[in-house]
Structure 1
Amino acid sequence: MRALVVDHGEAGPVRFADVEEPVPSSDEALVEIRHIGLNFGELNYVRQWPAGAVHGHDAAGVVVRAASDGSGPPEGTRVALGMSAHAWAERVAVGTASLGTVPEGVDLAAGAALGIAGVTALRVLRKRSLLARDVLITGASGGVGHFAVQLAALAGARVTALVGSQDRAAGLRELGADKVLTDLAETECRFDLVLDTVAGPLVAQAWNSLAEGGTIHLVGYSSGQDSTFPSGALFGFGEPRTIATYGDMTPTSGELTDLLGLVASGRLVVPVGLRGDWKDVDDAVQTLFARKVHGKIVLDVI
């Protein structure tokens, strides 16, 4: 069986290898993978995973053997995998609590793009009521950002999308952003919630734009830079402001089901910016690192 495994060498971050067939436990389904979704973090920080391990978290496919304990979807069901380890292989054993059923009429490839990005956005934005509140989404042209802009708008928020350049602003207003900025200095708005995927100096800037009682949720660090605060910046009067980290890898079946339902009803657009063949994964990775894609990259497993 072919799979994409972690490669710590110069040719990395992943390479094809022949690996053993998975042996599902009683609460795992055997899924034939049809599509995989790439994420910046798992590829850019690949040394956090052991060399030679099957890599990847997001994928979609068809159940070829249902879990023996009777849980989860039956054989033949189209499913999306969310935050599932070792997902980039021709066949994967997956805990049924991490599977979402892809409704009829929804492209199976769209399910592969939801995973980490969609579930992260949904979980953060569910932390508080967003109706008529001001929400800032940084790195809004990326995978998490595209989902977050749409979900925040669906929840009734006034959404500001922050991007690195004007050429990355395309389509964000159509997805629900009220404002699209390239610099926080362009607005005097005070935000009730900030979903930050960038980190670095931007965190301190966002802190200065945070309303009383507001929260910054840190869900990524694509800038690769340190975040530093001037002396006294974290002191203040009024309702406390907070900075929250995010690393939730708990089972995703419920969130995937909700997201796929929104896709099926036409209320959520899956931002696939590049679709290709997994044999061209090296080119896809370089395109991702070069920030040439708006949204997600999905590769077909042939």
Structure 2
Amino acid sequence: MRRLIPTGDATRPVEFAQDAQPVPAPGEVLVKVEAFSPNRGETFLLETPEPGLMPGKDVAGLVVQAAADGSGPPAGTRVVGHPPMGGWAEYTAVPTHSIAVLPDEINAVQAAALPLAGITAVRLLRTAGAVTGRRVLLTGASGGVGHYLTEMAAAAGAEVTAVTATAERGARLLELGATAIVHDVADADGPFDVVLESTGGSALAATLARLVPGGTLVWFGQASRTPATVNFFDLLAGPENAVIRHFHYAGAPYGPDLATLLRLVAGGRLHTEIGRTADWSQTAEVLIELRERRIRGKAVLTIGASR
């Protein structure tokens, strides 16, 4: 079979190679991949790839071999999955605790855009706690996670202020329920009960200063690739008893959260925001666009016919 492997070349980060079809472990299904979605964090790993790196964590396709231990769906079932690696290939093995069965109304392209970004959004909101009637500030809002977070938080009754680079990127977030769009944290009309911060650099301290006393900042990324610094005395002069929480989405099982996301999409309560769809022969070009933040929302690559 064919798979995409890292090259270490920033101008063409992946290339095709021949590989043996994966042999699933007893608790895994073998999936014929119809669509996959790269994440911006994966583009960073490709800059100096570790030996044996096989990217790919967001996939959708058809189960062609059921799990030997009897868990999971039978062959012939359409699924979305979140494997630990190796999803940029014609076939991939996925643990049965990290898949969900697709309803007929959701196609492979839509489904592939859900896993990492959608699971992150769901788990971030759980971490933030009840947001009904609360003021929420979200940085880096025009990426995949940001779109899902905005729509789900607004639907839960939060007043969401989203920080985006441009008005064009923010327009869709207003449609999804954001109360306000700003392009600089300094322009955000605070204070806020909750900050969801994903850019790092100077944004961490700036958003922290916008909290109400006792407010919570959940730090879930560093998209700017600039380390964040917080001055103790600035913090002391800021909101009293502010809480900074580190967040990482990882932790199986992923299947239940994927099923939740599918239910929301199927019911029209969550929308997959896909800024770029292309055949997987164009993966290298799409990865560069994603790395350079030229894609709003998610990018999805298709392998052959998908539905």
Q: TM-score, normalised by structure 2?
A: 0.93
Question: Matched residues in 1 for 2:278 and 2:61: separation?
Answer: 16
Q: CA deviation at 1:301?
A: 1.2
Root-mean-square deviation (CA), in Å?
1.7
Q: CA deviation at 1:287?
A: 1.6
Q: Determine the structure 1 residue equivalent to 2:214.
A: 213
1:8 corresponds to 2:26: no
Q: What SS does structure 1 have at the residue aligned with 2:105?
A: coil
Give the AA of the match of 1:300: T
Question: Matched residues in 1 for 2:246 and 2:34: separation?
Answer: 33
1:168 corresponds to 2:193: no
Question: Matched residues in 2 for 1:237 and 1:183: separation?
Answer: 19
Question: Matched residues in 2 for 1:160 and 1:206: separation?
Answer: 12
Q: TM-score, normalised by structure 1?
A: 0.94
- Tell me if structure 1 keeps the 8 A contact 2:211–2:239: no
Question: Matched residues in 1 for 2:84 and 2:261: separation?
Answer: 17
Describe the superposition over 1:217-251 as per-residue Cα deviations: whole angstroms up to 9, x where unpaired. Answer: 22221111121223412326876222222223212
The residue correspondences of 1:34-73 to structure 2 (distance < 5 A) are 34-46=34-46, 49-73=49-73
Give the AA of the match of 1:199: G
- Tell me if structure 2 keeps the 8 A contact 1:62–1:78: yes
Task: Classify 1:146/1:83 alpha carbon distance in 2 versus 1 (closer, same or farther; 3 Å).
Answer: farther
- Tell me if structure 2 keeps the 8 A contact 1:60–1:112: yes
Describe the superposition over 1:80-109 as per-residue Cα deviations: whole angstroms up to 9, x where unpaired. Answer: 112532111111111001101111111221
Describe the superposition over 1:264-289 as per-residue Cα deviations: whole angstroms up to 9, x where unpaired. Answer: 00000000111110001121112212
Aligned length: 302
Q: Determine the structure 2 residue equivalent to 1:199.
A: 200
Q: Determine the structure 2 residue equivalent to 1:105.
A: 105
Task: Classify 1:237/1:51 alpha carbon distance in 2 versus 1 (closer, same or farther; 3 Å).
Answer: closer
Q: CA deviation at 1:186?
A: 1.7
Task: Classify 1:205/1:53 alpha carbon distance in 2 versus 1 (closer, same or farther; 3 Å).
Answer: same
Question: Matched residues in 2 for 1:48 and 1:76: separation?
Answer: 38
Greater mean alpha carbon deviation, residues 230-239 or residues 98-107: 230-239
What 5-or-longer segments of structure 1 have no aligned partner?
none
- Tell me if structure 2 keeps the 8 A contact 1:216–1:242: yes
The residue correspondences of 1:1-302 to structure 2 (distance < 5 A) are 1-46=1-46, 49-82=49-82, 84-127=84-127, 128-235=129-236, 240-251=241-252, 252-302=254-304
Question: Matched residues in 2 for 1:4 and 1:193: separation?
Answer: 40
Task: Classify 1:212/1:261 alpha carbon distance in 2 versus 1 (closer, same or farther; 3 Å).
Answer: same
Question: Matched residues in 1 for 2:194 and 2:74: separation?
Answer: 40
Give the AA of the match of 2:250: M
Q: CA deviation at 1:53?
A: 2.8
Task: Classify 1:207/1:4 alpha carbon distance in 2 versus 1 (closer, same or farther; 3 Å).
Answer: same
- Tell me if structure 1 keeps the 8 A contact 2:160–2:180: yes
Give the AA of the match of 1:167: E
Give the AA of the match of 2:263: G
- Tell me if structure 2 keeps the 8 A contact 1:6–1:51: no
Describe the superposition over 1:95-137 as per-residue Cα deviations: whole angstroms up to 9, x where unpaired. Answer: 0011011111112211110111110011010120111011111
- Tell me if structure 2 keeps the 8 A contact 1:275–1:299: yes
Question: Matched residues in 2 for 1:261 and 1:242: separation?
Answer: 33
- Tell me if structure 2 keeps the 8 A contact 1:63–1:74: yes
Question: How many percent of aligned residue pairs carry the same amino acid?
Answer: 38
- Tell me if structure 1 keeps the 8 A contact 2:8–2:48: no
Q: What SS does structure 2 have at the residue aligned with 1:274?
A: strand
Task: Classify 1:231/1:287 alpha carbon distance in 2 versus 1 (closer, same or farther; 3 Å).
Answer: same
Task: Classify 1:48/1:255 alpha carbon distance in 2 versus 1 (closer, same or farther; 3 Å).
Answer: farther
Question: Matched residues in 2 for 1:213 and 1:73: separation?
Answer: 46
